Structure 1
Amino acid sequence: MTGKAANQSEGGIGIIGCGHLGRSLAEALIDSGYPKEMLRVSYGGSSSTLEKIKKAGLLENISDNYEICKSSAVIFIAVRPQSVECLRGLSFSGSALVVSCMAGISRASLKEMLGIDVFRMMPSSPDTIDKRLGIAAIYPRDDALQEILSLMGLRVYELLDEELMHVFTVGVCLPAALLVAEKMGLDLSQCVHDFGRKYPDFEEICSWARGVRPSFYSDEARDEYIRRTSTKGGITEAMIDSLNSGCTFLRAIERGVSRSKEIASKRGPALHLRS
């Protein structure tokens, strides 16, 4: 790493949460040339996660959350949003660059909980990061973070407003929804163009989503992919349900954005209730 990224990361990089996303970020850092001995990762204690950490060659990098907060200059929070409570009581350095990858939890909520300003990042799925086809949105802008992510092989979108995270989240959920829409024979180009007039990066993200979809040897394999990526109550499911009910692709996109906002509105107050 060079420039601002090197200066920021020379104190070490920590990843809190070494599930699928955390491991993908760790491996991308190492593949980019970042010194493995300067990387620390933590996990929640699951034996299956530990086995996957071993398989990834990260066993010697295991640390705990307190040590990561104490010793790391850059910290990625890669735990599931439902596990955010594991962060309560941690003491983050005021000089550390702390990046939350948790969907639906605002900077304001995190500041109230952690006492620091946190950058938000919405990455695409771990498998796209593993293939060096990943994209990520960040807010607010930060040159060092942008450089670190670019060196990891991610295409970075710097958002001007935190609310745009909802639109980007829909973007990274598009691969399965596109498959359903195309199976129905819907005209997508005009819908994507119309939505892109309000959100200029959306057409490019839609092209990315088409490009990262896996190839399928059968209709059954395609349908299984759609089922696997459509989490119950999630954004992909909301878009697919909208399509199955007869809505246009544009309306399905808008429903995905609305669902992202609904999820976020529930997660923020839940943090305050537990404080």
Structure 2
Amino acid sequence: MEKKIGFIGCGNMGTAMIQGILESGKCPPQEMMISCRTKKTLEEKKAQFGVQISTDNRDVAAFADILFVAVKPQFYAEVLEEIKDLLTEEQILVSIAPGKTLVWFDEVLGRNLKVIRTMPNTPSMVKEGMMGMCAGARVTDEDMALVRDLCSGFSQTEVISEHLMDVVTAVSGSSPAYVFMFIEAMADAAVAGGMPRQQAYKFAAQAVLGSAKMVLETGKHPGELKDMVCSPAGTTIQAVRVLEEKGMRSSVIEAMMKCLDISRNM
């Protein structure tokens, strides 16, 4: 790919994306520039990845053909105001901010540029991410294909309608936190049963990983897969009964709807 890549922001998510792109070989380090406010962090990233660095976001904006803005949502307006006069109609601006719509970008930038909204998630750190993407009016199919190819180094991607971006935030952007809580709870129960904690984490986490893989690879409905585990009068159906009685299903739905509501009002 003969495109220069820029990252404004290199926190956990930005770093995961940078690492995935570089390790996939889709961009050589010398063709990538990153910026953040902390010189120490930049020096560490330069030593780790061999990329170009700057403490000035404007340097990155002027450098990049594809510019990822990987800062916290509350800093987006400030960053865009800082760089907007440097952005060209040929550049592709990639956002990872929940709640910031394509119309919002047009208003802040003062013109209609090539903007792609994305919502990655933290499993991108182990190259098992899931990312929703939607494109502004000026983004071509070729532009979208370029960005999807870049992101394939750390995540699977799905192109969706913009009205579903907040749903993506709830179902994949935030949900790793719910899954981590579930794994922790299962491990706690295993420890209470006498299993060493690190071993309990491994059993619980691998069970979740394998179960997710079964959903993806068999194509079966999750309910059908659940029934395959629940033998008549067996131990599993009794455990499932307790989870239903305690409101696990309704709690997950309520939590996700709360996340969705907050994302829509950011």
Q: Same fold (TM over 0.5)?
A: yes
C-alpha displacement at 1:183, in angstroms?
7.9
Whole-Å separation in 1 of the counterparts to 2:42 and 2:31? 20
The answer as to whether partners of 1:166 and 1:257 remain within 8 angstroms in 2 is no
Whole-Å separation in 2 of the counterparts to 1:182 and 1:66? 42
The answer as to whether partners of 1:17 and 1:41 remain within 8 angstroms in 2 is yes
C-alpha displacement at 1:97, in angstroms?
1.2
**Match among 56, 61, 72 for residue 69 of structure 1:** 61
Q: Does 1:45 align with 2:46?
A: no
**Match among 101, 108, 124 for residue 103 of structure 2:** 108
Question: For 1:255-274, what aligned pairs fall within 5 Å after superposition?
Answer: 255-265=255-265, 267=266
Q: Does 1:97 align with 2:92?
A: yes
2:82 aligns to what SS in structure 1? Answer: coil
What residue number does 1:119 align with? 116
C-alpha displacement at 1:148, in angstroms?
1.9
User: Any gaps of 5 or more consecutive residues in structure 2?
Assistant: 136-140, 187-196, 203-242
Structure 2 CA distance for partners of 1:263 and 1:129, relative to 1, 3 Å: closer
2:106 aligns to what SS in structure 1? Answer: helix
C-alpha displacement at 1:108, in angstroms?
1.1
2:49 aligns to what SS in structure 1? Answer: coil
Whole-Å separation in 1 of the counterparts to 2:184 and 2:28? 45
**Match among 139, 146, 149 for residue 148 of structure 2:** 146
Deviation digits for residues 174-207 of structure 1 (CA, Å, limit 9, x no counterpart): 233245568889xxxxxxxxxxxxxxxxxxxxxx
What TM-score do you get using the length of structure 2 for normalisation? 0.65
C-alpha displacement at 1:31, in angstroms?
0.5
Deviation digits for residues 51-83 of structure 1 (CA, Å, limit 9, x no counterpart): 54245234x510332122222111111011121
The answer as to whether partners of 2:7 and 2:70 remain within 8 angstroms in 1 is yes
2:88 aligns to what SS in structure 1? Answer: coil
1:18 aligns to what SS in structure 2? Answer: coil
What residue number does 1:164 align with? 164
Whole-Å separation in 2 of the counterparts to 1:69 and 1:263? 27
**Match among 127, 132, 140 for residue 137 of structure 1:** 132
The answer as to whether partners of 2:35 and 2:57 remain within 8 angstroms in 1 is yes
Structure 2 CA distance for partners of 1:43 and 1:180, relative to 1, 3 Å: closer
Structure 2 CA distance for partners of 1:119 and 1:257, relative to 1, 3 Å: farther
Whole-Å separation in 2 of the counterparts to 1:183 and 1:71? 44
Structure 2 CA distance for partners of 1:254 and 1:94, relative to 1, 3 Å: farther
Structure 2 CA distance for partners of 1:23 and 1:124, relative to 1, 3 Å: same
User: Any gaps of 5 or more consecutive residues in structure 1?
Assistant: 1-5, 186-215, 222-242, 268-275
Structure 2 CA distance for partners of 1:257 and 1:99, relative to 1, 3 Å: farther
**Which structure has the bigger radius of gyration?**
2
What residue number does 2:224 align with? none
The answer as to whether partners of 1:104 and 1:261 remain within 8 angstroms in 2 is no
Structure 2 CA distance for partners of 1:51 and 1:66, relative to 1, 3 Å: closer
What residue number does 1:213 align with? none
Whole-Å separation in 2 of the counterparts to 1:31 and 1:179? 26
The answer as to whether partners of 1:181 and 1:249 remain within 8 angstroms in 2 is no
Structure 2 CA distance for partners of 1:39 and 1:262, relative to 1, 3 Å: same
Q: Does 1:86 align with 2:86?
A: no
